[in-house]
């Protein structure tokens, strides 16, 4: 029998700090494996700092984490790095630039390894840019329209840092959304979590808002 897809966490940003209790829950549910941090989206923003923050955060809950420098396209095609991702049981994509993250990972050996690991039951989490690219379509950070994401989870889009979006900016994005597409606004230090059965829950310090055709909806509309 084939393994089920693992848990999926889409985080609204401000990851790896107080209020992100869902990380401890995910760590425990995954059997407390080492968490593999991909700081790809922060490649031009001191990725080593993002990794250090993640390592300290998971150590604070008795866990272990380490970074994997997949920062540019050659890294994403490195077969040793892809093998490390494939063997991981908890993979976390941090925040930064979603467009850089997408360009590095799209159709790469590392991305294929992540997808295979997830389909083999590994937990996958993405925060801010990491959450955005895991969906398809993806909100384009340059103007709030929609573009191609990597599509680990299809027919849903994520707006991270939603608690900091103005009403006008949010309304413009919702107006541009394809008909019938669930758009999930996720506050910082907050996650929507898809368990292996396909059920979604909200967790963390803030609020999750779901919209379809500009109208508020519930988590039950998510794929």
SS3 200: strand
Reported as a pLDDT band with limits 50, 70 and 90, residue 162 is very high
pLDDT in tens, 142-153: 888 899 999 999
Average pLDDT over the chain, rounded to an integer: 96
Report the C-alpha gap between 75 and 65 in whole angstroms: 20
Question: How many C-beta atoms surround the C-beta of residue 47 within 10 A?
Answer: 21
Torsion of CA 203, 151, 15, 117, to 10 degrees: 90
Q: Which domains occur in the chain, in start order?
A: 8-218 (3.40.50.880)
Q: Where are the alpha helices (DSSP H) in the chain?
A: 21-29, 47-60, 73-76, 79-87, 98-105, 109-119, 129-134, 167-176
pLDDT in tens, 61-88: 999 999 999 999 999 999 999 999 999 9
Q: Tell me which residue of 176, 171, 182 sits closest to 136, measured CA to CA.
A: 182
């Amino acid at each position: 029998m084939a393994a089920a897809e693992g848990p999926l966490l889409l985080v609204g940003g401000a990851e790896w700090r107080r209020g992100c209790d869902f990380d401890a829950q995910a760590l425990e549910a995954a059997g407390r494996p080492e968490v593999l941090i991909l700081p790809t989206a922060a490649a031009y923003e001191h990725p080593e700092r993002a990794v250090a923050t993640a390592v300290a955060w998971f150590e604070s809950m008795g866990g272990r984490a380490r970074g994997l420098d997949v920062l540019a396209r050659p890294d994403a095609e490195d077969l040793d790095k892809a093998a490390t991702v494939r063997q991981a049981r908890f993979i976390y994509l941090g925040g930064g630039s979603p467009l850089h993250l997408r360009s590095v990972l799209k159709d790469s050996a590392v991305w294929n390894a992540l997808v295979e690991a997830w389909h083999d039951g590994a937990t996958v989490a993405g925060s801010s840019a990491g959450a955005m690219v895991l969906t398809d379509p993806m909100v384009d950070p340059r103007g709030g329209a929609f573009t191609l994401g990597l599509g680990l989870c299809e027919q849903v889009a994520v707006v991270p840092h939603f608690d900091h979006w103005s009403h006008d900016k949010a309304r413009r994005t919702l107006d541009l959304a394809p008909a019938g597409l669930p758009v999930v606004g996720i506050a910082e230090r907050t996650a929507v979590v898809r368990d292996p059965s396909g059920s979604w829950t909200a967790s963390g310090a803030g609020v999750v808002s779901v919209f379809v055709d500009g109208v508020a909806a519930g988590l039950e509309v998510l794929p």
